[in-house]
Amino acid sequence: MAKIKLEYLWLDGYKPTQNLRSKTKVEEHENFKGTLEELGNWSFDGSSTQQAEGGSSDCLLKPVAIYPDPERRNGYLVMTEVLNADGTPHESNGRATIDDDDNDFWFGFEQEYFIMDTATQLPLGFPIGGYPGPQGMYYCSVGGKNTWGRDLVEEHADLCIDAGLNFEGINQEVAAGQWEFQLFAKGAKKAGDEIWIARYLLDRLTEKYGYYIEYHPKPIKGDWNGSGMHANFSNEVLRTCGSKETYEAICEAFRPVTKEHIEVYGAFNDQRLTGLHETASITDFSYGVSDRGASIRIPIITVEKGWKGWLEDRRPASNGDPYKIAGRIIKTVKSAKI
């Protein structure tokens, strides 16, 4: 019998931005295969996470995805949904609201973030009491003059790949100390699971570097790009229709529910979606081919392939919950009159 370390991960009930929580359960298993079927529900004190009152504080953790933990011997990362004591989804459980049981929807998220120095509480590359050079030389840069944090970013990429995530790439972003990684999954719930697992691995990794990750969409005020989490999405219709009119009908379905989307696209997004720095204004809705200043970009590759491909919603903020973002996008796409 081997002792297996199971790290149960969940989202707390804090508002406006939920946080990752986790705790370790050690179990004895013989020939553990790393499957969900081998796991049971667990519980936690919801009164400590804004998810229950002290007089009735038990909340349940239902395992929904499991991945090898690349940093622990006999370790696994277990993504869970939070349930009430009676087994119903907790109000903080965004994953349970996703209407994609047949995995028709595919999502590719582009997670931007700033690496912050815990001593200075500034992004890497920002001097105390001043600013680095203006934007321009940091994007996809190489070399110590314009690049900071590569060791952490490279290690994080390896951890995600070793954990079995469908990790698709990394690049330094437009501002100093700002980076991005990309993940893709067939199925909205799986896509959300993998973003949260990747965020967990990144946050945990900073503990040994003396850094922390800032997911705020505009942590540095002024002439600096904010951080987003662009949502690339498709379903069978978008992948196969071959129709410009169908694409336009789906895009138009987003127009009347602009407010509903912004409500779940991340807190403080108004500081980022200003109409500047490659963003559309938070109060507007627009779409266009290859337009990074639009709310939704129609990729040029989609057009070149005869209107068969995907769309990119550029509005979600870096601190948004991928479950809620995907759930809202799916609802709107399904409402389109095509």
* Distance, first Cα to last Cα, the chain: 56
Confidence of residue 140 (pLDDT cuts 50, 70, 90): very high
Give the residue from 65, 93, 121 where a domain finishes.
93
Could you tell me if 272 and 323 lie in one domain? yes
Residues 79 and 144 in one domain: no
Quote the Cα angle for 243-244-247, to 5°: 95
Mean pLDDT, range 317-331, rounded to an integer:
98
Q: Which amino acid is at 260?
A: E
Q: Are residues 232 and 174 in the same domain?
A: yes
Q: What is the pLDDT of residue 55?
A: 78
Q: Would 204 be classed as within a structural domain?
A: yes
- CA–CA separation, 282 vs 268, rounded Å? 11
- Examine the domain organization and report whether 225 and 170 are in the same domain: yes
Angle between helices 150-162 and 188-206 (to 10 degrees): 130
Cβ-proximal residues to 164 (8 Å cutoff; 6+ apart), any chain: 67, 68
Q: What is the pLDDT of residues 17-71, one digit of tens each?
A: 999 999 999 999 999 999 999 999 999 999 999 999 877 899 999 999 999 999 9
Average pLDDT, the chain: 96
Residue linked to tokens 């900073």: 206
pLDDT at 50: 97
Whether 130 shows a pLDDT value over 90: the answer reads: no
Q: Are residues 133 and 255 in the same domain?
A: yes
In a domain, 85, yes or no: yes
The residue among 155, 244, 239 whose CA lies nearest residue 205 is 155
Tally of domains in the chain: 2
Q: Does 123 lie in the same domain as 25?
A: no
Same domain, 262 and 149: yes
**pLDDT-above-90 percentage for the chain:** 93
In a domain, 65, yes or no: yes
Last residue of a domain, one of 93, 119, 137: 93
Of 93, 117, 136, the position where a domain reaches its end is 93
User: DSSP characters for 10-61?
Assistant: EE---SSS--EEEEEEEEEESS----GGG---EEEEGGGTTSSBTTB-EEEE
Q: What is the pLDDT of residue 170?
A: 98
Task: Tell me the pLDDT tens digit for each residue of 272-294.
Answer: 999 887 888 999 999 999 998 99
pLDDT of residue 75: 98
* Structural domain of 210: 106-335
Helices 188-206/322-335 angle, 10° precision: 160
> What does the DSSP assignment read for 98-120?
---TT---EEEEEEEEEEEETTT
Regarding whether 255 and 124 lie in a shared domain, the answer is yes
pLDDT of residue 271: 96
On whether both 220 and 72 belong to a single domain, the answer is: no
Give the tens place of pLDDT for each residue, 168-196. Answer: 999 999 999 999 999 999 999 999 999 99
pLDDT tens for residues 212-265?
999 999 999 888 899 999 999 999 999 999 999 999 999 999 999 999 999 999
Alpha-carbon span 227 to 272, nearest angstrom: 8
Let me know if residue 98 belongs to a domain. no
118 plus 244 within the same structural domain: yes
The answer to the question of residue 100 being in a domain is: no
Q: Is 331 domain-assigned?
A: yes
pLDDT of residue 129: 87
